[in-house]
Amino acid sequence: MPIIAGSLEEALAPIADGSMLLIPRGNAGVAMAATRALVRRGAKRLHLVAVPTSGLQADLLIGAGCVESIEAAGVSLGEFGSAPRFLAAVRAATIVVKDSTCPALHAALQASEKGVPFIPLRGLLGSDLVKHRPDWRVIDNPFANHDPIVLLPAIKPDVALFHAPMADADGNVWIGTTRELMTMAHAARATVVTVEALYEKNLLEDPALAAGTLPGLYVERVAVVARGAWPLALPGRYERDDAHLAEYARLAASADGFASYLDRYVHERRAA
């Protein structure tokens, strides 16, 4: 049965050093409070897999020295510019980058969700990515002649980490229409979720909420963390903090500025 953790640190216990950590796109419920807690803990050698892109979360973990590799379709701060600590790490060759595409990441997670070792995907044919991904195999369709297809190995994460509006005492988590969070939880060996609040009843017994609820069967730990996605948005609850993101982009452009950001917003646990 999922554990409703007494603290954020307790909830993050399943994320060990060296874990493959699955993280969502920037507007899908990013567990930023948990991310800051991982930095404070000094997490090491994480293998990030973005579903399918990342921004502030990945950049913060990479800049803090928590990441050994990342697989993503893109890492940037969007209209606030490039992800500066990610770019610095790439240029210094201090992380391994596995370049991918949105469909490829979703498909490889669906393979894990289905319990199969690989999954075919056609749209990668002709892409330079295939040349640089030796783990992707091009074969001839066994049901036709001269019909190449790409096989992707299943991505099998250790932990999926995200933030959601609410959970109940049984560990059921309401994710609404953000359906890729369901796939993430199905694919990962364990799922850790931070939520805005606890729902007093059983979410699966509420006809209005059940369809958008991830059953507690797939959830390892839950922690209540109000505004746990800040400074990013939580759809339907609060908007992103553009002023803060602009400040991050400015400070993280240099190593000294990034260290200043960590001192102010991570290690001092300053509230939003």
Strand partners, 173: 167, 214
For tokens 């995200």, name the residue: 162
Burial of 47-57, coded b for 16+ CB within 10 Å and e otherwise, reads bbbbbbbbbbb
Contact between 157 and 191 under an 8 Å Cβ cutoff? The reply is no
Residue 271 pLDDT: 43
DSSP 3-state of 163:
strand
Contact between 56 and 34 under an 8 Å Cβ cutoff? The reply is no
Residue 269 pLDDT: 53
CA 82, 71, 33: angle at the middle one, nearest 5?
70
Residue 6 pLDDT: 84
Low-confidence ranges of the chain (pLDDT < 70): 1-2, 269-272
Delineate the domains of the chain, giving CATH numbers in brackets. 3-100+155-267 (3.40.1080.10), 121-153 (no CATH)
Which residues have a Cβ under 8 Å from the Cβ of 196 and sit 6 or more positions away? 163, 164, 165, 166, 224, 225, 226, 227, 228, 234, 237
Residue 48 pLDDT: 98
Which residues have a Cβ under 8 Å from the Cβ of 199 and sit 6 or more positions away? 166, 167, 168, 174, 209
Residue 4 pLDDT: 85
* CA–CA dist 188, 203 (Å, integer): 22
